[in-house]
Amino acid sequence: MVHLRIVAPSDRSEKTLELLSAHGSVSNVIFLKDAARRPDGDVILCDVAREDASVILGDLRELEIPRFGSISLEYIDTQISEAAERAEKFAPGTPSDAVIWEDVEARTSENVELSGNFVAFMVLAVLIATAGIFLDSPILIIGAMVVGPEFGPLAGLCVALVEKRGKLALRSLIALAAGFPVAITVGFLVSVAIKELGLAPDDFSLDGRAFTEFISHPDFFSFFVASLAGCAGVLSLTSSKSGALVGVLISVTTIPAAANIGLAAAYGDADEWRGAVAQLSLNLTMIVLAGLGTLYVQRMLYRRRRIKHLSDPARKKAGLPVGRSARSDRRAEG
């Protein structure tokens, strides 16, 4: 279940109450008259089955609640209520498979900012991977993959392209376009310093690394794993199974490939450098394409659910048009 806290102006709270009270996937509706300040209005609390959360939020947008008031959303870990069980049964589908698009948009928007922390994590991840390549250590490579924050902007780019949000796409691209070059440059400088100071292992060679040679040798499995990781990453982002994201981060070689670019440049190995660039490019491209495909399918399923919901009798009680969206009507009038 999802808990909503709605602040609605008094002239819209009655319609909001009618909508929530009439819909079968909503339970525990509470009305607090004139309880809100800044903005002034009534406070309405309710619980919604996760499967129908986005369609209910869509109705609230049609009532222009976000424009004149606010909507806050939080997840309920445990609820003991027969009313809530009936609400969940009313909403078709499985809660863990449901996508709350407003939550996805909010989370991706937060994770695509080009900030000092983002660049710092990129640099630290690349340096850990650089040490892993020097020592031919798969443990350090895995650690670098987990530390790397690059999946946030990649996921943000996928969401932005599917939802046609140009500003989010631009912010995602800027984060990636700045983060990788800075991290690679720092990795290059550190690799040069290690080489010139004689700190590299005596037997170090860019050729013949038993455990990390794959980083600069893309093949079919690089394409295959990156595609699967893109799908799994988006599914973990849009579902309640967010713990799967750690496995996604460990399965792709974006950060190790970036580290190998700087290291190969420091040692003047053109073949190794080209292989690492190819590996990085392949991983980034396939993650985005697979993520786009996964999000597109999920978005189409949501649109079908939303279109079906537009005929729900609860909309009529709230004064919303049945069979069409009020937002579409307003756009047509404008």
Residue 19's CATH number: 3.30.70.120
Alpha-carbon dihedral sign for residues 261, 267, 270, 271: negative
Q: Please tell me whether residues 196 and 239 are part of one structural domain.
A: yes
Residue 28 belongs to domain spanning: 2-98
Q: Percent of the chain having pLDDT more than 70?
A: 94
Q: Please tell me whether residues 141 and 43 are part of one structural domain.
A: no
pTM for the model stands at: 0.86
- How confident is the model over 179-190, as pLDDT tens digits? 999 999 999 999
In the chain, where do the E strands start and end? 2-8, 26-36, 41-48, 70-75
Q: Please tell me whether residues 206 and 264 are part of one structural domain.
A: yes
pLDDT at position 240, please? 62
Q: Please tell me whether residues 24 and 128 are part of one structural domain.
A: no
Q: Please tell me whether residues 110 and 33 are part of one structural domain.
A: no
Does any domain span residue 320?
no
- Domains in the chain: how many in total? 2
Q: Please tell me whether residues 155 and 263 are part of one structural domain.
A: yes
**70: burial class by Cβ within 10 Å (0-12, 13-18, 19+)?**
middle
Does any domain span residue 37?
yes
Does any domain span residue 315?
no
- How confident is the model over 35-74, as pLDDT tens digits? 999 999 999 999 999 999 999 999 999 999 999 999 999 9
Q: Please tell me whether residues 93 and 159 are part of one structural domain.
A: no
- How confident is the model over 259-286, as pLDDT tens digits? 999 999 999 999 999 999 999 999 999 9
Q: What mean pLDDT, rounded, does the chain reach?
A: 90
pLDDT at position 243, please? 52
Q: Is the pLDDT of residue 93 over 90?
A: no
Q: Are 301 and 309 in contact (CB under 8 A)?
A: no
Structure-block tokens of residue 279: 């590996």
Query: Which residue in the block uniquely carries the two structure tokens 């939020």?
Result: 57
Q: Please tell me whether residues 71 and 113 are part of one structural domain.
A: no
- Radius of gyration in angstroms for the set of CA atoms belonging to the chain, rounded to a whole number: 25
